[in-house]
Structure 1
């Protein structure tokens, strides 16, 4: 495919001579100032032609772009010459010329790898900026934008591959038949996968590649060495494309879609790959191969591989396992579908409800089902395949047109999100400024109008998606018999249950007879049994669709067994199918949440509020609801009980948002922390008031609770305990409090702290607020539970160990006297900023990590906190950077990932920083879900059935083997960075301040 058709469709006028979309800037004065700066930079770079834009309509467009996109602003101000050719030529023509420049960047004998890396980065940056201008101007529609982005990636990969092949030829590793055309008959096959393969790349996309070797290629001189040779070349290819240099990067590159990535080389012989796909290939791999196409290297050999894989991808008939896999793909969508309103800010445009993935999944599942019989369904482009599905009568004309339109709209939103900072994110910003950047870049002048249109688009997709799957061919047939009377199993009922997906149908029959015979309190009333009997077929079908249906239903049985009454719940589930879907998800994937519902069924009532999925659980949102829930409560015990109820319900609701994909792991961590802050603060107020009634107050007294650990860094999980330090201050002349039973200040605050600990952690009928730990206070368990601020300052400056300063990097005032907070934050910042011996800190950190490894070895590879290269290593890297002055900007109230993004470039290079941040996000996503779903430390083999799918969805990977492979690679990379960093640091002197 080439760009000629696209170029022709875009017109032949010079770009700046066209009528461009009327974009409004956020700040008109800033936009005008930025345009003046661009013209000034252009004059300095001798791009005098750009000055002709000054008073033309195109200038308004360009100034708005500079104001709206910080990324494009940086690029264009640094390289204004990018836009000058557009004064005289059409944009597609300039892009074609740029593609030719990329293709020719490897020509000549003097090209070096470093030189190529520089050239590709600069040319890609130019292409990126030009494509963005075409997109924002309205010249390009979505299909044009994704085509040019894919074409840009293809040319860059092709150029790097040709360079590496020539280099291998000159080194004697290969014997190319035609060195002038090195890719021809080279045997090196580069397949583009996913959006790259389908010409659907997004603006800041990774590129997914699979690399094969044609063992019969004449270029291969030693068949026994070819795997090593091409794997080494592939490793260099990835480095050329994705390593960050002063010029940035070309494309982040992902090779994990290859067969069995945890145990296969980077380049796989075709024969071995075909054996794998035919013998062990998964259905998701069939789905992935729908979009595969050769983009570089030996194109003809790549086409032969695709042809050989066709019978594997396009089966004429589906076996039962394939049908189950298709339903599994569907379940991943249903898991987060349809719970009330949809939040706009913070919504994941790709993976969230009503998002891009829902359209893509529907198309791909129908392709898997029928592509073997209908060649029309074998295309790779989503919109084209919607048309093909309509042509076959599978979807209506209205569904085709509406979904195609919304697909374009959502892809455009995705591109503009990524144009803000060139980040691979799909989340609509939560803050006002960046949210408006997206809205304005979409051509809106009003954020609320955009929000309404965006929400309507998501609802439209979601509604069509549900209807499409209902209309799609029913692969399971009619339900069949469901008879549970008498003591003997009905043979046809056993068959029906087996068809539903139950492996022990006789046990299921026994359980349901128990319900129907009224042997539980919840089923003793005739009305409850009647409702449950009506609900049973729906329940069985829903549980049967889960990964291990028997276990999920047994967990539901345990819940019914513990209910005091059942009529309300059964009626609720009967009238709210979406709640039933959610309950099935919880029972199949999250035994911890299932236990909570079993113990406190009323907590499920919170699910009835449809607004909970529309509202991101921000601090303001939670604070408003807490005030409303507490109401006029004045009695101490009543306040604490209401706090326990509120905290339990909202921990549950935050968890449900995480479970359904409404929020991600990072947002969940902040929400859990915000909830803890608010509840601790109100508990502290109640304790202070209750304590003052007897002992009065200390004149000038101030209290602040310092949150430490995960609370301090706002990374709490559903099951986290909380680390606290209580600091106080008072008028130094006061010797005792002013109440009926006065106490000396030190004793006053010590006893008040003990009362607070009891309020937070004492078990009552409403449960425990939080398990609290005060051991991080000065002198640990040996010191008083309450610490005077002066003692804290002195201890931290003169006596604290390195590990205590490491802990202090995550300290944050969370409750108490707000006027005290700024003072404490200043103290903490000053203590962390003290000059230190880098080598000593490095030695202490290494010894501490070794001690933890010796005393607390990881239980398995999924023990992400303790595993080598896991969460502790990441936290230690961040803390080491803070203590040695290698972090830019504030660190208080920052997560580990946020601290890592601020590492100074002379401390760790940008590429390594990126990989550390990605590791932090990966670990957070997985840890949040595991802690939400499981009680305590559970080994991999004990994961409940639905958890696998949740983890795959959170990582956007197709199966748990891929997740495990990514965890292994990530841990290895983090540990290498940790070791290298500390080894190098021991050679240094004082830390820079």
Structure 2
């Protein structure tokens, strides 16, 4: 709850009148009424007859509020107290009196006395809070918290009274009759503003009453439902029946599960079953603020904890946003609230009102609360702060909404203070509107109107940015009708105008959607949401080149979806995501296929940090560890690993596609992901092997990455080159498991399992194609190599080309100590003195042989084309083998291609040649990363998606394909010239590969 002011909060402390009387003489008339009512209290009458600042303020407040005037007339004792005592101390006393209203002299009292005491307390509390509020002694946050605490105290007193009365009558047996609620299993859940601690001045209270049959206070469980239902009926009567003393709180039970057919009190199990099976999105939103407020609070807390997965879904949930927005539209339609006005405007339900702020907050809590526990807060202002911290909204937006929320709540309170009515509507009568303006401290109606209009417009602006109104394309664009069997002529013209070349085919596709011929469009709700979305989809696709191709790709995506409501809701309420989806369909069929197979990858796109932050290797490893539970079966672990890896690959690709990261960072991210995936797969394989064959004494394994994995240059479709090394204590011939095997077979089997784990196709796809050909002796050698054998081979038997490949080797998974020992062996091999001419001869021979045996298919074959990536990599590897380490031996040599060129190039080939290679590598990397991300197979400009051509042109600053090809040719010529200058002309006869 809100922190309270110290006990110096006194009306006598007012130095000036914070309010203007309703009219000339109104303050005097109100005080005269109070003097007359205090005829039996001469001291009070004299004080009011010669008013000071506090008395004049009291008279002004009563002149503005008939309710306050009547309360003061009928309750002179509370008038005396507010003039003499600290207001917060009075409130503390009243709350304590409410909480103990069921007791008198240490024992329970009858129901009539409970009702009378609660009404006295409520009326007095309302009077004190109104004066504290109007006098500026208490802010609106504190007022709402105090009202909520009072309601909670009243409900607690009612429940204690009812339980003790039932106990005394022999209907129930309480564990502790002196503390009736403790362990009773009877729970009162406060919903809405009561749950959040934000009650209105004249608010209803929304509650759900539940009971736990297992608490055992009812002898016959069959009778529990009726027993507790009778208690609830009496609770409602105590709280809201109007008597001579008024009422306590109007009590609403309509938020309980299926209120038209369920009793007033429901068992905890029945409630859980309902919410888990039939619960609606609006109920999820309602439970964001839910809190156990009376009865057995511990049981209530347990219930809400069990319900948390229903309220906050594991996956980011945009399906809820359409439901919430539809409720908002229904409110507007039902209440007739149109444009923002002041007179007659509903500050709660009208445009720009309190409900829009609440929906703005709650929908974002529903969307992300499953993954972000910090968003699971009840109070609206606290939720705004949490949304800032989570990166969902800016500080400016939060401050605008927070200021508007509490201002509108203060206006709402003043509307209700006038006559203690549960109204949220500003008066249309000019005099009554002036009354509200004066109670708000405004100098006149014009100033008040200006402030409230600005506030409402601010809220509406922020609300609209989240809940984009469904808009058709409008009459200026033309018809979009897709009913019947024949094409609508005006619709065909509209589609042409939007940019579609085959409007007849497009119209047929969209009719297919609306007829529910795909699984994703079979439900009525899915079709309705897609119908609302279609105009904006068509406009977005029409704006792309080859719009027909893009929308047909989207159609293929829809055809494979198992369900569509979530996706359609998500696209309809997130314009940025719709734009990104259109880009994917227009440019990246490979990504389109991924989202067709795995719709949940969309969840990651809703994270506000997606385009700002690239997860580190440690964060990726954490996400894998969170999702891949080692206690699952081996097959389940591998399937989950494929799911999370596919999602992360997709999200890296989306960042690249949206230019949030550059191609170099994409390559590093793909490599970090591969490291983490290999590590997780290796752990799973080791557990599985150990479960069957046990362990080899002191056995350890390490995986070295080579090729693009080793140089951290992976693309979305790269294979991974690895070597698995092992070591173990000498002298042991077998593992120690149920089925012991010798170490060679043990680690051979482990390697084979690892390769299968990474590359075997399953229902969840393939992680990576694995290449072991760079291991010692290539395909002729064992798949697993002991560290000593690796050392011997590399120092005695390896070919030059194998040492070139080794220049990109790095430890990626397994035992770090063993990996570092392997890296030390590699460093020793690479630091060996070599004759540059001999190495150049080998490189020329290998390059020439590759040109003979694997010629490029064209200029877009950036790897094999003369002057392409292989030339750059060979120069880098040549430098790594021949150039002295500028930092001295043993200082660690770079494995990345560019890093090697930049480290060794200036001293060997010169600065200009170094810059040529680095620039060309960056250019080739940009193209390769985008092409491998967007399509499978070879890139042919005439067959490539138009969107991909546009992406490449933008990324490479080229106007068209011809200019792109010209740039490639320039780089190829420059790179080949550097290659020839440094190493010589490739010659297939100058050397050979084994």
- The answer to whether 1:549 aligns with 2:550 is no
- The answer to whether 1:905 aligns with 2:909 is no
Counting only pairs closer than 5 Å after superposition, residues 552-701 of structure 1 correspond to structure 2 as 552-631=550-629, 633-701=631-699
What is the rounded CA distance, in whole Å, between the counterparts of 1:893 and 1:649 in structure 2? 30
Judged with a 3 Å threshold, the aligned counterparts in structure 2 of structure 1 residues 893 and 634 are, in CA distance, closer, same or farther, namely farther
What is the rounded CA distance, in whole Å, between the counterparts of 1:673 and 1:508 in structure 2? 40
- The answer to whether 1:874 aligns with 2:844 is no
**SS in structure 2 opposite 1:723?**
strand
Question: What residue number does 2:935 align with?
Answer: 934
Counting only pairs closer than 5 Å after superposition, residues 192-207 of structure 1 correspond to structure 2 as none
**SS in structure 1 opposite 2:687?**
helix
Judged with a 3 Å threshold, the aligned counterparts in structure 2 of structure 1 residues 891 and 928 are, in CA distance, closer, same or farther, namely farther
Judged with a 3 Å threshold, the aligned counterparts in structure 2 of structure 1 residues 803 and 566 are, in CA distance, closer, same or farther, namely same
Q: What displacement does 1:531 show?
A: 1.2
**SS in structure 1 opposite 2:520?**
helix
Question: What residue number does 1:743 align with?
Answer: 741
Q: What displacement does 1:827 show?
A: 0.7
**SS in structure 2 opposite 1:810?**
coil
Question: What residue number does 1:914 align with?
Answer: 915
Question: What residue number does 2:953 align with?
Answer: 952
Question: What residue number does 1:762 align with?
Answer: 760
Q: Work out whether residues 777 and 785 of structure 1, in 8 Å CA contact, stay in contact via their aligned partners in 2.
A: yes
What is the rounded CA distance, in whole Å, between the counterparts of 2:660 and 2:893 in structure 1? 27
- The answer to whether 1:817 aligns with 2:818 is no
Q: Work out whether residues 838 and 985 of structure 1, in 8 Å CA contact, stay in contact via their aligned partners in 2.
A: no
Question: What residue number does 1:800 align with?
Answer: 798
What is the rounded CA distance, in whole Å, between the counterparts of 1:594 and 1:694 in structure 2? 41
Pick one of 709, 712, 718 that aligns with 2:710. 712
Q: What displacement does 1:669 show?
A: 0.7
Judged with a 3 Å threshold, the aligned counterparts in structure 2 of structure 1 residues 504 and 600 are, in CA distance, closer, same or farther, namely same
- The answer to whether 1:943 aligns with 2:941 is no
What is the rounded CA distance, in whole Å, between the counterparts of 1:837 and 1:985 in structure 2? 18
Q: Work out whether residues 597 and 603 of structure 1, in 8 Å CA contact, stay in contact via their aligned partners in 2.
A: yes
Judged with a 3 Å threshold, the aligned counterparts in structure 2 of structure 1 residues 929 and 579 are, in CA distance, closer, same or farther, namely same
Q: Work out whether residues 847 and 986 of structure 2, in 8 Å CA contact, stay in contact via their aligned partners in 1.
A: no
What is the rounded CA distance, in whole Å, between the counterparts of 1:667 and 1:756 in structure 2? 27
Judged with a 3 Å threshold, the aligned counterparts in structure 2 of structure 1 residues 984 and 529 are, in CA distance, closer, same or farther, namely closer
Question: What residue number does 1:506 align with?
Answer: 504
Question: What residue number does 2:978 align with?
Answer: 977
Judged with a 3 Å threshold, the aligned counterparts in structure 2 of structure 1 residues 795 and 645 are, in CA distance, closer, same or farther, namely same
**SS in structure 1 opposite 2:600?**
helix
Judged with a 3 Å threshold, the aligned counterparts in structure 2 of structure 1 residues 488 and 980 are, in CA distance, closer, same or farther, namely same
Q: Work out whether residues 644 and 768 of structure 1, in 8 Å CA contact, stay in contact via their aligned partners in 2.
A: yes
Q: What displacement does 1:515 show?
A: 1.2
Q: After superposition, what is the alpha-carbon deviation per residue over 1:731-779, rounded to whole angstroms, capped at 9, x for unaligned?
A: 1222221222211111111111111111111222222222111111111
* TM-score, normalising length: structure 2: 0.51
Pick one of 843, 846, 863 that aligns with 1:845. 843
Counting only pairs closer than 5 Å after superposition, residues 39-118 of structure 1 correspond to structure 2 as none
What is the rounded CA distance, in whole Å, between the counterparts of 1:486 and 1:545 in structure 2? 27
What is the rounded CA distance, in whole Å, between the counterparts of 1:741 and 1:983 in structure 2? 56
Q: Work out whether residues 589 and 947 of structure 1, in 8 Å CA contact, stay in contact via their aligned partners in 2.
A: yes
Q: Work out whether residues 760 and 770 of structure 1, in 8 Å CA contact, stay in contact via their aligned partners in 2.
A: yes
What is the rounded CA distance, in whole Å, between the counterparts of 1:649 and 1:720 in structure 2? 16
Counting only pairs closer than 5 Å after superposition, residues 250-289 of structure 1 correspond to structure 2 as none
Judged with a 3 Å threshold, the aligned counterparts in structure 2 of structure 1 residues 476 and 776 are, in CA distance, closer, same or farther, namely farther
Comparing 583-592 and 562-571, the one that deviates more: 562-571
Q: After superposition, what is the alpha-carbon deviation per residue over 1:609-654, rounded to whole angstroms, capped at 9, x for unaligned?
A: 2222222232122122222222463432222221111111101111
What is the rounded CA distance, in whole Å, between the counterparts of 2:903 and 2:574 in structure 1? 46
Q: Work out whether residues 622 and 675 of structure 1, in 8 Å CA contact, stay in contact via their aligned partners in 2.
A: yes
Judged with a 3 Å threshold, the aligned counterparts in structure 2 of structure 1 residues 921 and 738 are, in CA distance, closer, same or farther, namely same
Runs of at least 5 residues in structure 1 that lack an aligned partner in the other structure:
1-339, 341-448, 987-993
Q: What displacement does 1:656 show?
A: 0.6
Higher Cα radius of gyration: 2
What is the rounded CA distance, in whole Å, between the counterparts of 1:476 and 1:816 in structure 2? 61
What is the rounded CA distance, in whole Å, between the counterparts of 2:705 and 2:952 in structure 1? 29
Judged with a 3 Å threshold, the aligned counterparts in structure 2 of structure 1 residues 536 and 794 are, in CA distance, closer, same or farther, namely same
What is the rounded CA distance, in whole Å, between the counterparts of 1:711 and 1:458 in structure 2? 44
Q: What displacement does 1:905 show?
A: 2.8
Q: After superposition, what is the alpha-carbon deviation per residue over 1:334-381, rounded to whole angstroms, capped at 9, x for unaligned?
A: xxxxxx9xxxxxxxxxxxxxxxxxxxxxxxxxxxxxxxxxxxxxxxxx
Question: What residue number does 2:784 align with?
Answer: 786
Q: What displacement does 1:897 show?
A: 1.3
Q: What displacement does 1:953 show?
A: 2.6
What is the rounded CA distance, in whole Å, between the counterparts of 1:599 and 1:891 in structure 2? 43
Pick one of 523, 537, 558 that aligns with 2:521. 523
Q: What displacement does 1:985 show?
A: 12
Q: Work out whether residues 726 and 786 of structure 2, in 8 Å CA contact, stay in contact via their aligned partners in 1.
A: yes
Q: Work out whether residues 494 and 505 of structure 1, in 8 Å CA contact, stay in contact via their aligned partners in 2.
A: yes
Comparing 475-484 and 563-572, the one that deviates more: 475-484
Q: Work out whether residues 712 and 893 of structure 1, in 8 Å CA contact, stay in contact via their aligned partners in 2.
A: no
Q: Work out whether residues 703 and 819 of structure 2, in 8 Å CA contact, stay in contact via their aligned partners in 1.
A: no
Q: What displacement does 1:938 show?
A: 2.7
Judged with a 3 Å threshold, the aligned counterparts in structure 2 of structure 1 residues 538 and 781 are, in CA distance, closer, same or farther, namely same
Judged with a 3 Å threshold, the aligned counterparts in structure 2 of structure 1 residues 535 and 751 are, in CA distance, closer, same or farther, namely same
**SS in structure 2 opposite 1:724?**
strand
Q: What displacement does 1:948 show?
A: 1.6
Question: What residue number does 2:422 align with?
Answer: none
Comparing 764-773 and 862-871, the one that deviates more: 764-773
Question: What residue number does 1:442 align with?
Answer: none
Q: What displacement does 1:457 show?
A: 12
Question: What residue number does 2:476 align with?
Answer: 478
Q: After superposition, what is the alpha-carbon deviation per residue over 1:956-979, rounded to whole angstroms, capped at 9, x for unaligned?
A: 444443332221111110011101
Q: Work out whether residues 518 and 525 of structure 1, in 8 Å CA contact, stay in contact via their aligned partners in 2.
A: yes
Q: Work out whether residues 713 and 892 of structure 1, in 8 Å CA contact, stay in contact via their aligned partners in 2.
A: no
What is the rounded CA distance, in whole Å, between the counterparts of 1:881 and 1:837 in structure 2? 12
Question: What residue number does 2:362 align with?
Answer: none
Q: Work out whether residues 704 and 819 of structure 2, in 8 Å CA contact, stay in contact via their aligned partners in 1.
A: no
Question: What residue number does 1:211 align with?
Answer: none
**SS in structure 2 opposite 1:601?**
coil
**SS in structure 1 opposite 2:593?**
helix
Counting only pairs closer than 5 Å after superposition, residues 171-190 of structure 1 correspond to structure 2 as none
Judged with a 3 Å threshold, the aligned counterparts in structure 2 of structure 1 residues 519 and 738 are, in CA distance, closer, same or farther, namely same
**SS in structure 1 opposite 2:703?**
strand
Question: What residue number does 1:963 align with?
Answer: 964
Q: Work out whether residues 704 and 816 of structure 1, in 8 Å CA contact, stay in contact via their aligned partners in 2.
A: yes
Q: How many residues align?
A: 529
**SS in structure 2 opposite 1:555?**
helix
Pick one of 463, 471, 485 that aligns with 1:487. 485
What is the rounded CA distance, in whole Å, between the counterparts of 2:658 and 2:899 in structure 1? 25
**SS in structure 1 opposite 2:811?**
strand
What is the rounded CA distance, in whole Å, between the counterparts of 2:928 and 2:482 in structure 1? 41
Q: Work out whether residues 653 and 716 of structure 2, in 8 Å CA contact, stay in contact via their aligned partners in 1.
A: yes
What is the rounded CA distance, in whole Å, between the counterparts of 2:647 and 2:523 in structure 1? 28
What is the rounded CA distance, in whole Å, between the counterparts of 1:732 and 1:815 in structure 2? 23
Q: What displacement does 1:891 show?
A: 6.4
Q: Work out whether residues 891 and 899 of structure 1, in 8 Å CA contact, stay in contact via their aligned partners in 2.
A: no
Question: What residue number does 1:826 align with?
Answer: 824
Q: After superposition, what is the alpha-carbon deviation per residue over 1:543-581, rounded to whole angstroms, capped at 9, x for unaligned?
A: 001111000000000011111222221111112221111
